[in-house]
């Protein structure tokens, strides 16, 4: 039976255990060898004595990051920095690591980002880096838990599609027998079709693909999207779903692993709802009063977004965006056709989620196709659902990696992506 290193406190002194892990460091004295052993739960010292181990000479030559199994006795009276040690009776080398290592695990020398990503298998052995994905795991678990508690159905929609979700050119074409096809930008169109199917509340967690040429610290060409759609709902309702799900997930994740986050420099605070709401028009006026050259219909520049973010400590919504800045399926405001019932959720100066009430009326949808210059024939499978009883509906799409990047205050979204895909990176 394998014993994880974080479970040694529960083992009685002197008891024999089997532990597995990576050799993080070695210290050698002729007939005595100290190994610092690491698994994904912690670090301990293993003391190897020549008289106790048959293959001592082989173990004495072990390299850093080699993988071993140790059978030995727990010593809780150890004076090592790890607090508990194991006195080895048997050491089995499962895999001897080559030297030199492509990069260090505990070395203080800074490694450049490309080297880290090229050797991701070692980069993720660093507890601070692997912890990002433990947090991401907890966050996603509790988002799912919240959705299920609110009677949402988890769905899985196609990732190979015949038409662009957003109607733009940011698409990856794929070879699909004799037909033209693309990697899906989002599950948007299929979520809406499901509203016409009577599913009422759906959510999906899955990959999304954008052939955007930007190669910035916040852009990826493949990312994980968390999507929600709700029938008989408007933008205000789904903003409530969004903020409540994030409050639930973030606060529960902190309850579970907040201590280890703090210990590794990821100090994050619990959040509360409701999040502040400010309209796009209000922000345009605010920027104009502060000498920004911007007018209605312009998107916010990075400088403008940073200036706006100084007003807010945590999450905030920007609502009522202009129609020209939103996709064709976004519902116009009933009092002003130039603005829409849409929103972005911001954390700092970065958008982490976008959503809206959708158009459910076929005639309005058809007019929007013409306004946006789209070929209606490419969307026949989607439009058909609106002709036979489509309820009012609303939803949103949330980028998981970008959300984690912002919460943990990382410098680059690639840090919160296991194996990033961007304009220049297709491997590993």
51 close to 60: Cβ distance less than 8 angstroms: no
Residues with a catalytic annotation lie at 210, 212, 218-219, 351, 354, 402
Q: Which residues contact 178 (CB under 8 A, 6 or more apart)?
A: none
What class has domain 5-95? mainly beta
Task: Count the Cβ atoms, other than its own, within 10 Å of residue 351.
Answer: 17
Report domain extents, the chain.
5-95, 127-416
Distance CA 249, CA 274 (A): 15
pLDDT in tens for each of the 428 residues of the chain?
899 999 998 999 999 999 999 999 999 988 899 999 999 999 999 999 999 999 999 999 999 999 999 999 999 887 677 778 999 999 999 999 999 999 999 988 788 999 999 999 999 999 999 999 999 999 999 999 999 999 999 999 999 998 766 656 688 999 999 988 999 999 999 999 999 999 999 999 999 999 988 888 888 999 999 999 999 999 999 999 999 999 999 999 999 999 999 999 998 999 999 999 999 999 999 999 999 999 999 999 999 999 999 999 999 999 999 999 999 999 999 999 999 999 999 999 999 999 999 999 999 999 988 888 888 887 888 999 999 999 999 999 999 999 999 999 999 999 999 999 999 999 99
CA 138 to CA 267: how far, in whole Å?
16
* Architecture of the domain made up of 127-416: 2-Layer Sandwich (3.30)
pTM here is 0.93
For 421, the token pair is: 């895909």
């Amino acid at each position: 039976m394998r014993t994880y290193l974080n479970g040694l406190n529960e083992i009685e002194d002197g008891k024999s255990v089997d532990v597995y892990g990576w050799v993080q460091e070695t210290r050698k004295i002729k007939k005595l060898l100290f190994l610092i052993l690491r698994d994904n739960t912690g670090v301990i010292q293993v003391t190897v004595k020549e008289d106790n181990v048959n293959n001592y000479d082989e173990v004495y030559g072990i390299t850093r990051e080699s993988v071993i199994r140790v059978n030995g006795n727990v010593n809780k009276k150890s004076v090592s920095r790890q607090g508990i040690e194991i006195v080895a009776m048997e050491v089995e080398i499962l895999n001897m690591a080559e030297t030199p290592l492509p990069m260090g695990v505990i070395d203080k020398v800074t490694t450049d980002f490309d080297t880290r990503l090229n050797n991701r298998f070692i980069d993720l052995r660093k507890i601070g880096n692997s912890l990002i994905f433990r947090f991401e795991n907890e966050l996603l678990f509790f988002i799912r838990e919240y959705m299920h508690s609110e009677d949402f159905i988890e769905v899985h929609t196609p990732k190979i599609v015949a038409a662009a979700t957003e109607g733009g050119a940011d698409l990856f074409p794929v070879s699909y027998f004799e037909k033209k096809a693309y990697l899906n930008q989002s599950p948007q169109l299929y979520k809406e079709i499901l509203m016409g199917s009577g599913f009422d509340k759906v959510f999906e967690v899955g990959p999304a693909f954008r052939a955007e040429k930007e190669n910035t610290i916040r852009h990826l060409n493949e990312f994980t999207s968390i999507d929600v759609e709700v029938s008989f709902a408007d933008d205000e309702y789904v903003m409530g779903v969004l903020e409540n799900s994030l409050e639930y997930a973030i606060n529960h994740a902190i309850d579970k692993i907040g201590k280890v986050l703090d210990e590794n420099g990821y100090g994050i605070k619990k959040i509360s709802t409701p999040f502040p709401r400010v309209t796009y028009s209000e922000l345009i006026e605010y920027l104009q009063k502060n000498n920004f050259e911007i007018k209605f219909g312009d998107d916010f520049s990075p400088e403008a977004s940073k200036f706006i973010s100084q007003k807010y400590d945590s999450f905030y919504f920007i609502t009522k965006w202009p129609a020209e800045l939103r996709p064709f399926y976004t519902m116009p405001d009933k009092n002003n056709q130039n603005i829409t019932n849409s929103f972005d959720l911001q954390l700092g100066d970065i958008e982490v989620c976008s959503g809206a009430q959708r158009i459910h009326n076929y005639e309005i949808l058809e007019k929007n196709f013409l306004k946006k210059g789209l070929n209606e024939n490419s969307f026949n499978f989607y439009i058909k659902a609106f002709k036979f009883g489509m309820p009012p509906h609303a939803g949103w799409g949330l980028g998981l990696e970008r959300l984690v990047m912002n919460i943990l205050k990382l410098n680059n979204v690639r840090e919160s992506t296991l194996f990033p895909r961007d304009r220049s990176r297709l491997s590993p």
